[in-house]
């Protein structure tokens, strides 16, 4: 795949330049920028010889090559989480920088770089003269970072792949994904002070703010929390990470609330947030019962908040163990919320998935990975992330981050290793040869 290195970099940068953050309520289903990114992706694949299709309402698109009844699917997404310079980016997140062996920019690792690596892997297979024995279809989802309406419309209208993988996780392979539950806690009681924090439902808050008060600034200093003042606003500073690993970040929402509490502000919302979420990442704010299974515990990310004279709304992202019933979690949260005058509302739910490690699909993908890398030590893993693998039967997340590589998805200065993308393309190439070409 070395001969395709420069094209992988060039094409990834081309897609990263498109600020494909989901926008609601406009002429386009998920926003103009996402629609333009889909058009660009389809153009790139058409130039590579694929037949392309865009849904009439712009809900999704796909690029397909080959013939036959069976179909191998590659499921990726073109939307990205928000990115702002004030979150700690060293450069414009949508002006990719290639330096020190990395492509730095929003979407380079999640999920534009991996899609491109898989595309050139298939191109290499065809350039070498292999003949496909089935269709290969790249399916482009457009709101994976939010509500999955795009892939839902694809599932409703289109043919499902015979087998598929999503290059939106880690190597060697993810055989189980925890359930993803997003909820809103709502109260009509006015907050003691107006506040807001967080931008993405599925990321730790990097900034939270309220009206400046000297006593609040003193509380921030005493607690040792990072902050800055903008005009008449005090802004707590955090470190954003993916919601599946909230303990790895610094939650600006929680820092602001704790400072408010120390400064003497009192209301039910402040008490609820402090009692239930502060330094409580594994659901211990709601119950002392251990709800974990082989896939791990419940994880809790308090991601967004708003409060004013009209009430308070809190956004919380939870990742549930594979065997845990969602309703039990909902009941526990509703009971605790009621103690503080809050009501609970489900925002989104994605089921968990589990594919046995001895299945034909997993065995075939693992063989390709091991043949290319020689790695027989790392085993299939369980993830708290959510990939499009949940959308179809006989589908798993496969790549594109190798063991030991840093995961920077959803973080400031997201970057993808160029060597890693080229190596991932080698693995994908082996998969295509094994699963989609004539023997």
Residue 220 pLDDT more than 80? yes
Q: 49 pLDDT exceeds 90?
A: yes
Same domain for 94 and 235, yes or no, is no
Q: Which two tokens stand for residue 158?
A: 């289109």
* Model pLDDT for residues 321-356, shown as the tens digit of each residue: 999 999 999 999 999 999 999 999 999 998 898 888
Return the bridge partners of 159, or none: none
Domain boundary among 335, 350, 365: 350
Please determine, for residue 310, whether its predicted confidence score (pLDDT) is greater than 80.
yes
Based on the fold, state whether residues 387 and 373 are members of the same structural domain. yes
CA atoms of 162 and 142, how far apart (whole Å):
22
- Does residue 412 share a domain with residue 325? no
Q: Are residues 33 and 113 located together in one domain of the fold?
A: yes
Q: Which of 308, 323, 350 is the last residue of a domain?
A: 350
Tell me the three state secondary structure of residue 236.
Answer: strand
Q: Which of 304, 326, 350 is the last residue of a domain?
A: 350
| Rounded Cα distance, 386 and 168, in Å | 9
- Is 386 a residue whose pLDDT tops 90? no
In this predicted model, what pLDDT tens digit does every residue of 148-206 receive, in sequence order? 999 999 999 999 999 999 999 999 999 999 999 999 999 999 999 999 999 999 999 99
**What per-residue confidence (pLDDT) applies to 183?**
98
Name the nearest CA neighbour of 2 among 151, 104, 124, 93.
124
State in Å, rounded, how far the first CA of the chain is from the last one. 21
231: three-class secondary structure by DSSP: coil
What's the rounded Cα separation, in Å, for the pair 236 and 228?
7
> Prior bond to 418 cis, omega within 30?
no
CA dihedral 141, 145, 148, 149 (to 10 degrees): -80
Together in a domain, 266 and 386: no
Q: What is the largest CA-CA distance in the chain?
A: 74
Does residue 439 carry a pLDDT above 70?
Answer: no
Please give the share of the chain, as a percent, with pLDDT higher than 70: 100
Quote the Cα angle for 244-423-296, to 5°.
Answer: 25
* pLDDT tens sequence across 83-138: 999 889 999 999 999 999 999 999 999 999 999 999 999 999 999 999 999 999 99
Task: Tell whether 115 and 143 lie within a shared domain.
Answer: yes
Dihedral (C-alpha) 276, 281, 282, 286: value to the nearest 10 degrees?
A: 10
Q: How many CA atoms lie within 13 A of 283 on its CB side?
A: 23
Which CATH number covers residue 73?
A: 3.40.630.10
DSSP assignments along 159-183, one per residue: PPPSEEEE-SEESS-EEEE-EEEEE
pLDDT beyond 70 at 261: yes
Give the pLDDT of residue 438.
Answer: 85
Task: Give the span between the Cα atoms of 7 and 250, in whole angstroms.
Answer: 37
| Structural domains of the chain, count | 2
Shared-domain flag, residues 397 and 419 = yes
Identify the CATH number of the domain in which residue 275 sits.
3.30.70.360
- Together in a domain, 119 and 217: no
Per-residue pLDDT tens for 165-176? 999 999 999 999
What distance in Å separates the CA atoms of residue 427 and residue 371, rounded to the nearest whole number?
Answer: 8
264, 278 contact by CB (below 8 A): no
Is residue 145 scored above 70 in pLDDT?
A: yes
Residues 287 and 368 in one domain: no
Domain shared by 127 and 218, yes or no: no
The residue ranking higher by pLDDT, 45 or 24, is: 45
Give the percent of the chain with pLDDT over 90.
92
Q: What is the mean pLDDT of the chain?
A: 96
For residue 349, CA distances in Å to 16, 194, 228, 264, 285 come to: 28, 30, 36, 37, 21
Range of the domain at 202: 179-350
pLDDT at position 26: 85
- Looking at the fold, whether 88 and 184 belong to one and the same domain comes out as no
> Same domain, yes or no, for 193 and 113?
no
């Amino acid at each position: 795949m070395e001969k395709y290195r420069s094209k992988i970099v060039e094409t990834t940068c081309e897609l990263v330049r498109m600020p494909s953050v989901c926008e609601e309520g406009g002429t386009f289903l998920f926003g103009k920028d996402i629609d333009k990114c889909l058009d660009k992706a389809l153009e790139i694949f058409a130039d590579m010889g694929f037949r392309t299709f865009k849904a009439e309402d712009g809900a999704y698109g796909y690029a397909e090559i080959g013939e036959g009844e069976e179909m191998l699917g590659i499921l990726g997404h073109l939307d990205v989480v928000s990115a702002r310079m004030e979150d700690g980016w060293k450069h414009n997140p949508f002006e990719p920088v290639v330096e020190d062996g990395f492509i730095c920019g929003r979407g380079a690792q999640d999920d534009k770089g991996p899609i491109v690596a898989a595309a050139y892997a298939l191109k290499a297979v065809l350039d070498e003269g292999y003949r496909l024995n089935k269709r290969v279809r790249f399916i482009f989802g457009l709101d994976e970072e939010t509500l999955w309406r795009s892939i839902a419309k694809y599932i409703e209208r289109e043919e499902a792949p015979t087998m598929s993988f999503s290059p939106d996780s880690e190597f060697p392979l993810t055989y189980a994904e925890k359930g993803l539950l997003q909820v809103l806690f709502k109260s009509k009681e006015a907050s003691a002070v107006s506040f807001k924090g967080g931008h993405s439902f599925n990321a730790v808050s990097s900034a939270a703010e309220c009206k400046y008060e000297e006593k609040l600034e003193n509380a921030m200093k005493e607690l040792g929390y990072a902050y800055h003042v903008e005009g008449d606003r005090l802004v707590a500073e955090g470190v954003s990470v993916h919601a599946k690993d909230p303990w790895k970040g610094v939650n600006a929402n929680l820092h602001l609330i704790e400072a408010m509490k120390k400064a003497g502000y009192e209301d039910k919302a402040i008490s609820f947030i402090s009692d239930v979420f502060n330094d409580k990442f594994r659901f211990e704010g709601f119950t002392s019962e251990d709800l974990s299974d082989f896939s791990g515990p419940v994880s809790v990310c308090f991601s967004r908040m708003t409060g004013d004279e009209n009430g308070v709304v809190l956004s919380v992202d939870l990742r549930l163990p594979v065997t845990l019933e969602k309703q039990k979690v909902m009941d526990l949260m509703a009971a605790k919320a009621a103690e503080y005058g809050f009501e609970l509302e489900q925002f989104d739910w994605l089921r968990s998935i589990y594919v046995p490690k001895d299945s034909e699909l997993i065995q075939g993908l693992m063989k390709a990975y091991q043949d290319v890398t020689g790695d027989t030590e790392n085993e299939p893993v369980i993830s708290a992330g959510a990939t499009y693998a949940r959308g179809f039967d006989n589908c798993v997340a496969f790549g594109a981050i190798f063991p030991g590589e840093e995961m920077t998805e959803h973080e400031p200065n997201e970057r993808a290793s160029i060597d890693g993308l080229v190596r991932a393309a080698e693995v994908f190439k082996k998969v295509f040869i094994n699963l989609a070409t004539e023997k």
